[in-house]
Structure 1
Amino acid sequence: MIALAGSFTDPSTIGYPAVFGGVLLGSLVPVVPTGAVVGAAAAIATTTDHLSLPIVVLLATVGALLGDLTTFGVARVGSDAALRWVARGQPPERLAAARTRFATRGWQLVVVGRLVPAGRIPVLLAAGTLGYPWRRLVPAAVAACLLWAIAYAALGIVSGGLFDNPLIATLLAALLVLVVGGLSSLVATYVRRRRHEADR
Protein backbone atom coordinates (compact mmCIF):
# COMPACT_ATOMS: atom_id res chain seq x y z
CA MET A 1 0.00 0.00 0.00
CA ILE A 2 2.86 2.36 0.88
CA ALA A 3 4.61 1.49 -2.40
CA LEU A 4 1.40 2.22 -4.32
CA ALA A 5 0.97 5.55 -2.59
CA GLY A 6 4.59 6.36 -3.29
CA SER A 7 4.13 5.68 -6.99
CA PHE A 8 1.40 8.31 -7.21
CA THR A 9 3.68 10.91 -5.62
CA ASP A 10 6.57 10.06 -7.94
CA PRO A 11 7.08 13.07 -10.27
CA SER A 12 7.52 10.78 -13.28
CA THR A 13 4.15 9.14 -12.57
CA ILE A 14 2.51 12.56 -12.71
CA GLY A 15 4.81 14.18 -15.26
CA TYR A 16 4.56 11.77 -18.18
CA PRO A 17 0.72 11.69 -18.26
CA ALA A 18 0.73 15.49 -17.87
CA VAL A 19 3.00 15.88 -20.91
CA PHE A 20 0.99 13.49 -23.06
CA GLY A 21 -2.42 14.69 -21.88
CA GLY A 22 -1.50 18.37 -22.04
CA VAL A 23 -0.15 18.14 -25.59
CA LEU A 24 -3.08 16.00 -26.77
CA LEU A 25 -5.65 18.35 -25.23
CA GLY A 26 -3.90 21.41 -26.62
CA SER A 27 -3.76 19.81 -30.07
CA LEU A 28 -7.50 19.16 -30.03
CA VAL A 29 -8.63 22.36 -28.31
CA PRO A 30 -6.06 25.17 -28.50
CA VAL A 31 -6.45 26.30 -24.89
CA VAL A 32 -3.30 24.65 -23.52
CA PRO A 33 0.09 26.16 -24.50
CA THR A 34 1.51 22.86 -25.70
CA GLY A 35 4.94 24.28 -26.48
CA ALA A 36 5.26 25.49 -22.91
CA VAL A 37 4.27 22.03 -21.63
CA VAL A 38 7.03 20.39 -23.68
CA GLY A 39 9.61 23.06 -22.82
CA ALA A 40 8.86 22.85 -19.11
CA ALA A 41 9.03 19.04 -19.12
CA ALA A 42 12.35 19.15 -21.01
CA ALA A 43 13.71 21.66 -18.47
CA ILE A 44 12.74 19.33 -15.63
CA ALA A 45 14.31 16.37 -17.46
CA THR A 46 17.53 18.36 -17.90
CA THR A 47 17.82 19.52 -14.29
CA THR A 48 16.49 16.46 -12.41
CA ASP A 49 16.27 12.68 -12.66
CA HIS A 50 12.47 12.71 -12.47
CA LEU A 51 11.83 12.68 -16.22
CA SER A 52 13.64 11.23 -19.22
CA LEU A 53 14.15 13.67 -22.09
CA PRO A 54 13.70 11.06 -24.89
CA ILE A 55 10.44 9.90 -23.30
CA VAL A 56 9.25 13.51 -23.01
CA VAL A 57 9.95 14.06 -26.72
CA LEU A 58 8.28 10.76 -27.64
CA LEU A 59 5.13 11.45 -25.59
CA ALA A 60 4.91 14.99 -26.93
CA THR A 61 5.24 13.71 -30.50
CA VAL A 62 2.57 11.02 -30.04
CA GLY A 63 0.18 13.42 -28.28
CA ALA A 64 0.60 16.05 -30.97
CA LEU A 65 0.22 13.46 -33.73
CA LEU A 66 -3.01 12.05 -32.31
CA GLY A 67 -4.43 15.54 -31.97
CA ASP A 68 -3.46 16.51 -35.51
CA LEU A 69 -4.82 13.31 -37.06
CA THR A 70 -8.09 13.76 -35.17
CA THR A 71 -8.43 17.35 -36.39
CA PHE A 72 -7.69 16.25 -39.97
CA GLY A 73 -10.09 13.29 -39.67
CA VAL A 74 -12.94 15.49 -38.47
CA ALA A 75 -12.37 17.81 -41.44
CA ARG A 76 -12.33 14.82 -43.82
CA VAL A 77 -15.50 13.23 -42.40
CA GLY A 78 -17.46 16.46 -42.48
CA SER A 79 -15.77 17.67 -45.64
CA ASP A 80 -18.86 19.16 -47.31
CA ALA A 81 -19.94 21.19 -44.30
CA ALA A 82 -16.34 21.98 -43.38
CA LEU A 83 -15.59 23.08 -46.93
CA ARG A 84 -18.58 25.42 -46.92
CA TRP A 85 -17.36 26.90 -43.62
CA VAL A 86 -13.74 27.25 -44.75
CA ALA A 87 -14.72 28.52 -48.20
CA ARG A 88 -17.17 31.17 -47.05
CA GLY A 89 -16.37 34.39 -48.88
CA GLN A 90 -13.54 32.76 -50.85
CA PRO A 91 -13.61 32.94 -54.66
CA PRO A 92 -13.55 29.56 -56.47
CA GLU A 93 -10.16 30.32 -58.04
CA ARG A 94 -8.59 30.68 -54.61
CA LEU A 95 -9.92 27.27 -53.58
CA ALA A 96 -8.57 25.81 -56.81
CA ALA A 97 -5.18 27.36 -56.05
CA ALA A 98 -5.27 25.86 -52.54
CA ARG A 99 -6.00 22.41 -53.99
CA THR A 100 -3.07 22.82 -56.36
CA ARG A 101 -0.73 23.82 -53.54
CA PHE A 102 -1.74 20.79 -51.49
CA ALA A 103 -1.39 18.49 -54.48
CA THR A 104 2.16 19.67 -55.22
CA ARG A 105 3.61 20.45 -51.79
CA GLY A 106 1.05 19.43 -49.20
CA TRP A 107 3.63 17.77 -46.93
CA GLN A 108 5.55 21.05 -46.70
CA LEU A 109 2.39 22.91 -45.72
CA VAL A 110 1.63 20.34 -43.02
CA VAL A 111 5.14 20.62 -41.56
CA VAL A 112 5.25 24.42 -41.67
CA GLY A 113 1.69 24.65 -40.32
CA ARG A 114 2.70 22.63 -37.24
CA LEU A 115 5.78 24.77 -36.58
CA VAL A 116 4.22 28.20 -37.16
CA PRO A 117 2.04 29.55 -34.32
CA ALA A 118 -1.68 29.43 -35.17
CA GLY A 119 -0.89 27.72 -38.49
CA ARG A 120 -1.63 24.11 -37.60
CA ILE A 121 -5.44 24.09 -37.43
CA PRO A 122 -6.08 26.12 -40.62
CA VAL A 123 -3.68 23.88 -42.57
CA LEU A 124 -5.21 20.65 -41.24
CA LEU A 125 -8.76 21.87 -41.87
CA ALA A 126 -7.82 22.94 -45.39
CA ALA A 127 -6.09 19.60 -46.02
CA GLY A 128 -9.13 17.67 -44.82
CA THR A 129 -11.70 19.69 -46.71
CA LEU A 130 -9.64 19.66 -49.91
CA GLY A 131 -9.36 15.85 -49.83
CA TYR A 132 -5.65 15.53 -49.08
CA PRO A 133 -4.99 11.75 -48.86
CA TRP A 134 -4.25 10.01 -45.56
CA ARG A 135 -1.25 8.19 -47.04
CA ARG A 136 0.48 11.55 -47.57
CA LEU A 137 -0.83 13.29 -44.50
CA VAL A 138 0.34 10.73 -41.93
CA PRO A 139 4.09 10.71 -42.79
CA ALA A 140 4.10 14.52 -43.04
CA ALA A 141 2.30 14.81 -39.70
CA VAL A 142 4.74 12.40 -38.02
CA ALA A 143 7.72 14.43 -39.26
CA ALA A 144 6.04 17.71 -38.32
CA CYS A 145 5.15 16.60 -34.78
CA LEU A 146 8.62 15.15 -34.16
CA LEU A 147 10.33 18.35 -35.34
CA TRP A 148 7.92 20.41 -33.24
CA ALA A 149 8.59 18.34 -30.11
CA ILE A 150 12.36 18.53 -30.61
CA ALA A 151 12.24 22.29 -31.20
CA TYR A 152 10.34 23.05 -28.00
CA ALA A 153 12.30 20.51 -26.01
CA ALA A 154 15.45 22.33 -27.15
CA LEU A 155 14.15 25.51 -25.53
CA GLY A 156 13.71 23.57 -22.31
CA ILE A 157 17.23 22.15 -22.62
CA VAL A 158 18.62 25.68 -23.03
CA SER A 159 16.86 26.90 -19.90
CA GLY A 160 17.92 23.78 -18.00
CA GLY A 161 21.50 24.36 -19.08
CA LEU A 162 21.42 27.93 -17.80
CA PHE A 163 19.92 27.15 -14.41
CA ASP A 164 20.27 24.08 -12.20
CA ASN A 165 17.14 25.01 -10.25
CA PRO A 166 14.21 23.07 -11.80
CA LEU A 167 11.67 25.78 -10.95
CA ILE A 168 13.70 28.59 -12.53
CA ALA A 169 14.54 26.43 -15.55
CA THR A 170 10.86 25.55 -16.02
CA LEU A 171 9.75 29.18 -15.79
CA LEU A 172 12.48 30.25 -18.21
CA ALA A 173 11.51 27.48 -20.64
CA ALA A 174 7.89 28.66 -20.61
CA LEU A 175 9.04 32.26 -21.13
CA LEU A 176 11.31 31.26 -24.03
CA VAL A 177 8.44 29.38 -25.67
CA LEU A 178 6.17 32.42 -25.39
CA VAL A 179 8.85 34.75 -26.77
CA VAL A 180 9.70 32.46 -29.69
CA GLY A 181 6.01 31.92 -30.41
CA GLY A 182 5.35 35.65 -30.37
CA LEU A 183 8.27 36.40 -32.69
CA SER A 184 7.24 33.61 -35.06
CA SER A 185 3.68 34.96 -35.13
CA LEU A 186 4.94 38.47 -35.96
CA VAL A 187 7.12 37.11 -38.77
CA ALA A 188 4.25 35.03 -40.16
CA THR A 189 1.93 38.05 -40.07
CA TYR A 190 4.52 40.17 -41.86
CA VAL A 191 5.04 37.53 -44.56
CA ARG A 192 1.28 37.16 -45.10
CA ARG A 193 0.90 40.93 -45.36
CA ARG A 194 3.69 41.21 -47.91
CA ARG A 195 2.26 38.32 -49.91
CA HIS A 196 -1.19 39.91 -49.86
CA GLU A 197 0.24 43.22 -51.06
CA ALA A 198 2.16 41.43 -53.82
CA ASP A 199 -1.04 39.71 -55.02
CA ARG A 200 -2.82 43.02 -55.50
Structure 2
Amino acid sequence: MDTPAPLPGPLEHLTPLLDGYGYLAVGVLVFLDNCAVPVPGQTVLVLAAVYAGTGRLSIVAVVAIALVAAVAGDSLGYLLGRTGGHRLVERWGRYVLLTPARMARGEAFFDRHGAKVVTVARFVDVLRQTNGIVAGTTGMSWQRFLPANVLGAVLWVGVWSTAGYLAGGNIGPLYAQVMRYQVFLLVALGVLLAALVGYRLWRRHRRYRDRSGVSRRGGSSS
Protein backbone atom coordinates (compact mmCIF):
# COMPACT_ATOMS: atom_id res chain seq x y z
CA MET A 1 0.00 0.00 0.00
CA ASP A 2 1.48 3.32 -1.07
CA THR A 3 2.36 6.00 1.44
CA PRO A 4 1.48 9.60 0.56
CA ALA A 5 4.34 11.94 -0.20
CA PRO A 6 5.19 14.39 2.61
CA LEU A 7 2.59 17.14 2.73
CA PRO A 8 3.12 20.75 3.73
CA GLY A 9 1.59 22.84 6.48
CA PRO A 10 -1.73 21.87 8.06
CA LEU A 11 -2.08 18.76 5.89
CA GLU A 12 1.09 17.28 7.40
CA HIS A 13 0.05 18.22 10.95
CA LEU A 14 -3.18 16.25 10.59
CA THR A 15 -1.64 13.01 9.33
CA PRO A 16 -1.24 11.47 12.84
CA LEU A 17 -4.91 12.18 13.57
CA LEU A 18 -6.07 10.60 10.33
CA ASP A 19 -3.65 7.69 10.74
CA GLY A 20 -5.01 6.99 14.21
CA TYR A 21 -8.74 7.54 13.77
CA GLY A 22 -9.41 7.38 10.02
CA TYR A 23 -13.06 7.83 9.08
CA LEU A 24 -14.00 8.86 12.63
CA ALA A 25 -11.66 11.86 12.38
CA VAL A 26 -13.27 12.87 9.08
CA GLY A 27 -16.79 12.64 10.45
CA VAL A 28 -16.15 14.43 13.75
CA LEU A 29 -14.03 17.28 12.36
CA VAL A 30 -16.28 17.93 9.35
CA PHE A 31 -19.35 17.91 11.62
CA LEU A 32 -17.82 20.40 14.08
CA ASP A 33 -16.40 22.59 11.30
CA ASN A 34 -19.92 23.01 9.94
CA CYS A 35 -21.37 23.78 13.37
CA ALA A 36 -19.62 26.93 14.60
CA VAL A 37 -16.52 25.15 15.97
CA PRO A 38 -13.25 26.33 14.35
CA VAL A 39 -11.59 22.98 13.68
CA PRO A 40 -9.76 21.90 10.47
CA GLY A 41 -12.66 19.98 8.95
CA GLN A 42 -11.94 21.12 5.41
CA THR A 43 -8.27 20.22 5.76
CA VAL A 44 -8.96 16.72 7.07
CA LEU A 45 -11.42 16.19 4.20
CA VAL A 46 -8.71 17.06 1.68
CA LEU A 47 -6.17 14.84 3.44
CA ALA A 48 -8.61 11.92 3.62
CA ALA A 49 -9.18 12.23 -0.13
CA VAL A 50 -5.39 12.20 -0.67
CA TYR A 51 -5.23 9.01 1.40
CA ALA A 52 -8.05 7.53 -0.67
CA GLY A 53 -6.07 8.29 -3.80
CA THR A 54 -3.25 6.08 -2.49
CA GLY A 55 -5.59 3.28 -1.41
CA ARG A 56 -5.36 3.89 2.33
CA LEU A 57 -9.03 4.89 2.61
CA SER A 58 -12.12 4.39 0.46
CA ILE A 59 -13.08 7.54 -1.45
CA VAL A 60 -16.74 6.42 -1.41
CA ALA A 61 -16.68 6.16 2.38
CA VAL A 62 -14.86 9.49 2.77
CA VAL A 63 -17.41 11.28 0.57
CA ALA A 64 -20.42 9.64 2.23
CA ILE A 65 -19.21 10.35 5.78
CA ALA A 66 -18.22 13.95 4.95
CA LEU A 67 -21.60 14.63 3.28
CA VAL A 68 -23.62 13.34 6.22
CA ALA A 69 -21.41 15.16 8.73
CA ALA A 70 -21.54 18.45 6.81
CA VAL A 71 -25.33 18.41 6.45
CA ALA A 72 -25.81 17.35 10.09
CA GLY A 73 -23.41 20.00 11.42
CA ASP A 74 -25.02 22.82 9.50
CA SER A 75 -28.48 21.58 10.50
CA LEU A 76 -27.52 21.60 14.19
CA GLY A 77 -26.21 25.16 13.76
CA TYR A 78 -29.55 26.12 12.22
CA LEU A 79 -31.48 24.59 15.12
CA LEU A 80 -29.28 26.38 17.65
CA GLY A 81 -29.89 29.68 15.88
CA ARG A 82 -33.61 29.03 15.54
CA THR A 83 -34.12 28.12 19.20
CA GLY A 84 -31.72 30.46 20.96
CA GLY A 85 -30.27 32.92 18.50
CA HIS A 86 -32.80 35.69 19.02
CA ARG A 87 -32.45 35.55 22.79
CA LEU A 88 -28.68 35.88 22.46
CA VAL A 89 -29.06 38.83 20.10
CA GLU A 90 -31.55 40.54 22.39
CA ARG A 91 -29.29 40.08 25.41
CA TRP A 92 -25.82 40.59 23.96
CA GLY A 93 -26.35 42.14 20.52
CA ARG A 94 -25.91 45.72 21.71
CA TYR A 95 -22.37 44.92 22.82
CA VAL A 96 -21.41 44.11 19.22
CA LEU A 97 -23.56 46.90 17.72
CA LEU A 98 -26.22 44.43 16.58
CA THR A 99 -29.30 46.58 17.15
CA PRO A 100 -32.89 45.41 16.53
CA ALA A 101 -32.97 47.52 13.36
CA ARG A 102 -29.82 45.86 12.03
CA MET A 103 -31.18 42.46 12.95
CA ALA A 104 -34.34 43.26 11.00
CA ARG A 105 -32.26 44.20 7.95
CA GLY A 106 -30.34 40.94 8.31
CA GLU A 107 -33.58 39.01 8.39
CA ALA A 108 -34.79 40.82 5.27
CA PHE A 109 -31.51 40.03 3.49
CA PHE A 110 -31.70 36.33 4.38
CA ASP A 111 -35.33 36.27 3.31
CA ARG A 112 -34.20 37.33 -0.18
CA HIS A 113 -30.75 35.73 -0.51
CA GLY A 114 -30.43 33.17 2.30
CA ALA A 115 -30.49 30.08 0.09
CA LYS A 116 -27.63 31.41 -2.06
CA VAL A 117 -25.59 32.32 1.02
CA VAL A 118 -26.03 28.89 2.60
CA THR A 119 -25.13 27.16 -0.66
CA VAL A 120 -21.78 28.92 -1.16
CA ALA A 121 -20.88 29.61 2.50
CA ARG A 122 -18.88 26.42 2.99
CA PHE A 123 -16.19 27.64 0.63
CA VAL A 124 -15.39 30.60 2.91
CA ASP A 125 -13.95 30.23 6.40
CA VAL A 126 -16.08 31.79 9.15
CA LEU A 127 -19.15 31.60 6.88
CA ARG A 128 -18.77 27.83 6.80
CA GLN A 129 -18.91 27.69 10.59
CA THR A 130 -21.68 30.23 11.12
CA ASN A 131 -24.10 30.25 8.18
CA GLY A 132 -26.44 27.71 9.76
CA ILE A 133 -26.69 29.67 13.00
CA VAL A 134 -27.28 32.92 11.11
CA ALA A 135 -29.95 31.27 8.94
CA GLY A 136 -31.75 29.96 12.02
CA THR A 137 -31.45 33.21 13.95
CA THR A 138 -32.84 35.28 11.08
CA GLY A 139 -35.84 32.98 10.73
CA MET A 140 -35.03 31.34 7.39
CA SER A 141 -37.55 28.53 6.91
CA TRP A 142 -36.40 24.92 7.21
CA GLN A 143 -37.96 24.18 3.80
CA ARG A 144 -35.57 26.71 2.19
CA PHE A 145 -32.58 25.96 4.39
CA LEU A 146 -32.37 22.19 4.00
CA PRO A 147 -32.07 22.01 0.16
CA ALA A 148 -29.46 24.80 0.20
CA ASN A 149 -27.62 23.02 3.01
CA VAL A 150 -27.56 19.71 1.11
CA LEU A 151 -26.55 21.36 -2.18
CA GLY A 152 -23.76 23.31 -0.47
CA ALA A 153 -22.48 20.13 1.19
CA VAL A 154 -22.51 18.23 -2.11
CA LEU A 155 -20.55 20.99 -3.87
CA TRP A 156 -18.05 21.47 -1.03
CA VAL A 157 -17.37 17.79 -0.42
CA GLY A 158 -17.33 17.10 -4.14
CA VAL A 159 -14.78 19.81 -4.94
CA TRP A 160 -12.35 19.05 -2.13
CA SER A 161 -12.59 15.25 -2.26
CA THR A 162 -12.06 15.28 -6.03
CA ALA A 163 -9.11 17.68 -5.72
CA GLY A 164 -7.45 15.61 -3.01
CA TYR A 165 -8.11 12.28 -4.72
CA LEU A 166 -6.75 13.38 -8.10
CA ALA A 167 -3.90 15.60 -6.93
CA GLY A 168 -2.44 13.17 -4.41
CA GLY A 169 0.92 14.37 -3.06
CA ASN A 170 0.70 17.48 -5.24
CA ILE A 171 -2.28 18.78 -3.29
CA GLY A 172 -0.06 21.03 -1.13
CA PRO A 173 0.59 23.80 -3.68
CA LEU A 174 -3.00 23.59 -4.98
CA TYR A 175 -4.46 23.86 -1.48
CA ALA A 176 -2.19 26.79 -0.60
CA GLN A 177 -3.24 28.60 -3.79
CA VAL A 178 -6.94 28.10 -3.09
CA MET A 179 -6.51 29.36 0.48
CA ARG A 180 -4.78 32.46 -0.90
CA TYR A 181 -7.73 33.15 -3.20
CA GLN A 182 -10.07 32.63 -0.25
CA VAL A 183 -8.28 35.43 1.62
CA PHE A 184 -8.75 37.67 -1.43
CA LEU A 185 -12.44 36.72 -1.50
CA LEU A 186 -12.85 37.63 2.17
CA VAL A 187 -11.16 40.99 1.55
CA ALA A 188 -13.39 41.60 -1.47
CA LEU A 189 -16.50 40.76 0.53
CA GLY A 190 -15.35 43.14 3.27
CA VAL A 191 -14.77 45.94 0.77
CA LEU A 192 -18.16 45.28 -0.85
CA LEU A 193 -19.89 45.34 2.53
CA ALA A 194 -18.15 48.60 3.48
CA ALA A 195 -19.13 50.11 0.13
CA LEU A 196 -22.77 49.09 0.61
CA VAL A 197 -22.84 50.51 4.13
CA GLY A 198 -21.22 53.73 2.90
CA TYR A 199 -23.71 54.01 0.05
CA ARG A 200 -26.66 53.53 2.41
CA LEU A 201 -25.29 56.15 4.80
CA TRP A 202 -24.74 58.56 1.91
CA ARG A 203 -28.31 58.06 0.66
CA ARG A 204 -29.70 58.53 4.15
CA HIS A 205 -27.68 61.72 4.59
CA ARG A 206 -28.83 62.98 1.18
CA ARG A 207 -32.51 62.32 1.98
CA TYR A 208 -32.11 64.07 5.32
CA ARG A 209 -30.43 67.06 3.65
CA ASP A 210 -33.15 67.26 0.99
CA ARG A 211 -35.90 67.13 3.61
CA SER A 212 -34.13 69.78 5.66
CA GLY A 213 -33.84 72.01 2.58
CA VAL A 214 -37.52 71.63 1.78
CA SER A 215 -38.45 72.44 5.39
CA ARG A 216 -36.31 75.58 5.41
CA ARG A 217 -37.77 76.79 2.11
CA GLY A 218 -41.29 76.09 3.30
CA GLY A 219 -40.66 77.99 6.54
CA SER A 220 -39.20 81.03 4.80
CA SER A 221 -42.09 81.28 2.33
CA SER A 222 -44.57 81.42 5.13
TM-score (structure 2 length as normaliser):
0.70
On the 8 A contact 1:75/1:82 being kept in 2, the answer is no
The reply on whether 1:96 has 2:104 as its aligned counterpart is yes
Among residues 13, 28, 34, which one is paired with 1:27 in the alignment? 34
Per the TM alignment, residue 93 of structure 1 is displaced from its structure 2 partner at its CA by: 4.2
On the 8 A contact 1:114/1:145 being kept in 2, the answer is yes
Among residues 123, 140, 148, which one is paired with 1:115 in the alignment? 123
The reply on whether 1:133 has 2:133 as its aligned counterpart is no
Structure 2 match to 1:164: none
> 2-side partners of 1:198 and 1:21: how far apart?
38
Structure 1 match to 2:50: 43
The reply on whether 1:15 has 2:13 as its aligned counterpart is no
Structure 1 match to 2:61: 55
Task: Report the aligned-residue RMSD.
Answer: 2.5
Matches within 5 A, 1:162-177: 169=169, 172-173=170-171, 176-177=174-175
In structure 2, stretches of 5+ residues that fail to align are 1-17, 199-222
Percent identical among aligned pairs is: 28
On the 8 A contact 2:118/2:132 being kept in 1, the answer is yes
Per the TM alignment, residue 77 of structure 1 is displaced from its structure 2 partner at its CA by: 0.9
The reply on whether 1:77 has 2:77 as its aligned counterpart is no
Structure 2 match to 1:195: 193
> 1-side partners of 2:138 and 2:39: how far apart?
28
- Say how many residue pairs are matched: 179
Deviations 1:138-192 (A, max 9, x none): 11111111111112112212421xxxxxxxx2xx536643542342133222232
Structure 1 61/106 Cα, relative in aligned 2: closer, same or farther at 3 Å? same
> 2-side partners of 1:181 and 1:153: how far apart?
16
Q: Please identify, of 67-76 and 83-92, the stretch whose mean Cα deviation from structure 2 is larger.
A: 83-92
- Higher Cα Rg: structure 1 or 2? 2
Per the TM alignment, residue 133 of structure 1 is displaced from its structure 2 partner at its CA by: 1.2
Structure 2 match to 1:163: none
- If asked which structure has higher relative contact order (CA below 8 Å, sep 6+), I would say 1
Per the TM alignment, residue 125 of structure 1 is displaced from its structure 2 partner at its CA by: 2.3
> 1-side partners of 2:196 and 2:111: how far apart?
23
The code of the aligned residue for 1:196 comes to A
In structure 1, stretches of 5+ residues that fail to align are 1-10, 161-168
Structure 1 174/78 Cα, relative in aligned 2: closer, same or farther at 3 Å? farther
On the 8 A contact 1:36/1:174 being kept in 2, the answer is no
